Amino acid sequence: MSTFMKNIIVLFILISLSVQSFAQQSTESADSIDRKKLLTTAGIETGFYIAGISFLNFVWYKDHDRVPFHFYDDSKGWMQMDKGGHSYAAYKESYFGYHALRAAGVNKKKSLIYGGSLGFILQAPIEVLDGMYEGYGFSWPDIAANTLGVSIFIVQEAVFDEQVVLMKFSYYPSIYPDYYPYYLGETELASFFMDYNAHTYWLSANLKKITGIHKLPPWLNIAFGYSANGMIAEFKNPTRYPNGDPFPYLERYRQFVFSLDIDFTRIPTKRKWVKGVFTAINLIKVPFPALEINKVDGLRFRYLYY
């Protein structure tokens, strides 16, 4: 089950992996292990992860009773938007884990096994913790979403030796936290993590690679996005406020979006720090005009979709 603090833990892990990957970019074809880089990478990643798990165990769960291990079916929660978050986070963790090992000189096969599977390895223990506390539960749908994100990375790297299709994320504040801040965040920072109405998860495919048209810019992508709107709580919206006043009716609906995108890692540059910046920017989908389809508005053109 996704929570605000679980996403914060994922963010810290992504930052640690990103820093290591950016700082250690080198010639990936040279499979001679740099033990200093390898140990530094492993040490920092492990430190961040232990700190995160400790926070969950001793701070986040401190007001929740330990209960027998149990399961929680949230497959229909948040119109599957949180599953997009799980897949995206697992994909990025595997991406950075793989490239950090390659930068340290580990060969491709071992990097795929140990780095490529990192998204699953990092997130599975959090699900186990959820299964031991009241108010949460071990979620097989979350595990499936994590597995999907990891698989998208590993299969492409194994078959194509590159990521033809990237997983990306975009965010634009929604109006819905004003209806119920308790559920969707009482501050802008909290809403960033808690308000799935403001999230869009993308599959961004390289146009030159999938079409074979060599005249296309190597960095130009086409993107398919999934989002949802009108969600106040996980499964259904409340009918009344805590004080008994009626809650306004809000339509819960899915959004499917088609747009263009940029793969910054395919923009040529010889400067390592620029490559690092481009890799970081590639976490997010670039705002572009888009076509959106949803059951409320039908087909609509968006001059700029964030």
Residues 189-205: tens digit of each pLDDT: 888 888 999 999 999 99
End-to-end CA distance of the chain: 26
Instruction: Determine what percent of the chain falls in helix, strand and coil, rounding each to the nearest 5.
Output: 50, 20, 30
The answer on pLDDT for 19 being more than 70 is no
Cα–Cα distance between 39 and 33 in angstroms, integer? 10
The pLDDT value recorded for residue 45 is 66
The pLDDT value recorded for residue 27 is 42
Token readout for 144 is 């499936």
The answer on pLDDT for 17 being more than 60 is no
The confidence band for 247, taking pLDDT boundaries of 50, 70 and 90, is very high
The answer on pLDDT for 28 being more than 70 is no
Residues 62-81: tens digit of each pLDDT: 777 889 999 999 999 999 99
- How many CA within 13 A on the CB side of residue 306? 7
Range in 145-154, 232-241, 271-280, 285-294 with the lowest mean pLDDT: 271-280
Greater confidence, 235 or 26? Answer: 235
The answer on pLDDT for 55 being more than 80 is no
Are 143 and 126 in contact, with CB atoms under 8 Å apart? Answer: no
How big is the CA angle at 113 (ends 169 and 43), to the nearest 5 degrees? Answer: 80
Residues 120-152: tens digit of each pLDDT: 988 888 888 889 888 789 999 999 999 999 999
C-alpha distances out from residue 126 to 29, 119, 133, 172, 244, Å: 35, 12, 11, 27, 36
The answer on pLDDT for 49 being more than 70 is no
Cα–Cα distance between 56 and 62 in angstroms, integer? 8
At residue 141, φ and ψ (nearest 5 deg) are -60, -35
Instruction: Write the burial class of residue 212 (CB in 10 Å: 0-12 exposed, 13-18 middle, 19+ buried).
Output: exposed
The confidence band for 165, taking pLDDT boundaries of 50, 70 and 90, is very high
Cα–Cα distance between 225 and 32 in angstroms, integer? 39
Token readout for 199 is 């999230």
Cα–Cα distance between 143 and 61 in angstroms, integer? 20
Cα–Cα distance between 25 and 19 in angstroms, integer? 10
Model pTM? 0.86
- Residue among 119, 132, 139, 145 nearest 60 (CA): 132
The pLDDT value recorded for residue 300 is 96
Cα–Cα distance between 183 and 12 in angstroms, integer? 23
Average pLDDT over residues 91-119: 87
The confidence band for 170, taking pLDDT boundaries of 50, 70 and 90, is very high
The pLDDT value recorded for residue 105 is 83
The confidence band for 173, taking pLDDT boundaries of 50, 70 and 90, is very high
C-alpha distances out from residue 123 to 7, 282, 301, Å: 10, 22, 37
Query: Which residues are CB-neighbours of 126 under 8 A, at least 6 positions away?
Result: 6, 9, 53, 56
Greater confidence, 102 or 83? Answer: 83
Are 49 and 57 in contact, with CB atoms under 8 Å apart? Answer: no
The pLDDT value recorded for residue 22 is 47
Mean pLDDT value across the chain: 85
The answer on pLDDT for 48 being more than 70 is no
The Cα diameter of the chain in Å comes to 67
Residue type present at position 237: N
Are 219 and 263 in contact, with CB atoms under 8 Å apart? Answer: yes
The answer on pLDDT for 14 being more than 60 is no
Residue type present at position 31: D
Please provide the DSSP assignment of 189-216 as one string: HHHHHH-GGGEEEEEEEEHHHHH--TTS
The confidence band for 115, taking pLDDT boundaries of 50, 70 and 90, is confident
Q: E strands within the chain?
A: 165-171, 199-206, 220-229, 253-262, 288-294, 298-305
Residue-wise over 33-62: b if at least 16 C-beta within 10 A, else e?
A: ebeebbebbeebbeebbeebeeebeeebbe
